[in-house]
Amino acid sequence: MVINKVDIQTQIADAVEAARRTNPLVGSVTNAVTVNFVANAQLAVGGSAAVVYLSEEGEILSNVGNAFYINIGTLLPIHEHALPLIAKGLHDSAKPWVLDPVAVGIGTLRTGLLMQFKAYMPSIIRGNASEIIALANLWDNKKGETSNVRGVDSTDAVSSARAAAVALAKQTGGAVAVSGKTDLITNGEIVVYSYGGSHYFEKITGAGCSLGGITAVYAATSSPFIAALAATAIYNLAGHRAESKASGPGSFHVEFIDELYKAKAVDVANNQFEVEEA
């Protein structure tokens, strides 16, 4: 397999520009803590954000929208009924959607929902290493590995989730993004490591969620793999730039949104990454 970095960079730049040009409508079911951050991050990269709870509204958005983001961070009773219907609607209408399996393993509702999502084939799965390993275990791919989900934080290194990520990508036919100090993105055949970001990402709530939300914006106009790469690249570029201007996590958050908004496609495409075969 010949891996052409320049070709990947061209597609990343195209994804960044397409989102700004077409203003895709991205629906979300996402957690209460970071919903504002997710929506603002989506707007900053060119998307339009619509958040819903009701299954009927989610199904309407699945039809009229261009992509969807599902984040199970703070589950409410309504999600038990609504989320499987929305995920099924996305699958049936072949709309790209991003799954953020936050805190997989905590509680029976969360586990039950994630088990149902398996049939609906998320285009992109984004999580930290512990979450990706745990989801792969749950979906029966990597029974031998163990993960360490602790609340919303990862206690595993990104590299430890490589096999799980590749397995999930092959299973879904989409892409998987593992977030951490260095991010790993794979489509099951190629593994990309993306560099940059900031230590402040661990000091603000919703860094991972906003990455998931941005990924859904790019999924509206690009392949799952390119969408995951573009989102991770702009996120790492903006995080790196924001850190240099910030004096703490509060100002970092503000600068990060500004840098997402200002990032040029060519700079996103040139954000450091490495490619290897899966």
Tell me which residues touch a second copy (CB under 8 A).
25, 27, 31-37, 39-40, 43-44, 48-54, 56-57, 60-61, 64-65, 73-78, 103, 106-110, 150-153, 202-206, 246-251, 253-262
Among residues 2, 44, 54, 51, the alpha carbon closest in space to that of 23 is found at: 44
Please say which residue, 5 or 150, places its beta carbon nearer to a second copy: 150
The minimum distance between CB 229 and a second copy, in angstroms, equals 23
The minimum distance between CB 52 and a second copy, in angstroms, equals 7
Tokens of 141: 């791919």
Please say which residue, 47 or 174, places its beta carbon nearer to a second copy: 47
Please say which residue, 52 or 168, places its beta carbon nearer to a second copy: 52
**Sheet containing 273-277, strands listed edge to edge, beginning at the edge strand earlier in sequence:** 48-51, 25-29, 67-71, 97-100, 124-128, 175-179, 183-186, 190-194, 273-277
The minimum distance between CB 6 and a second copy, in angstroms, equals 29
Please say which residue, 190 or 246, places its beta carbon nearer to a second copy: 246
The minimum distance between CB 192 and a second copy, in angstroms, equals 27
The minimum distance between CB 259 and a second copy, in angstroms, equals 7
Inter-residue long-range contacts of 21-25, CB under 8 Å, 24+ positions, other chains counted: 21/46, 22/46, 22/66, 22/220, 22/221, 23/47, 23/48, 24/48, 24/65, 24/66, 24/67, 24/217, 24/220, 24/221, 25/50, 25/61, 25/64, 25/65, 25/66, 25/220
Please say which residue, 127 or 188, places its beta carbon nearer to a second copy: 127
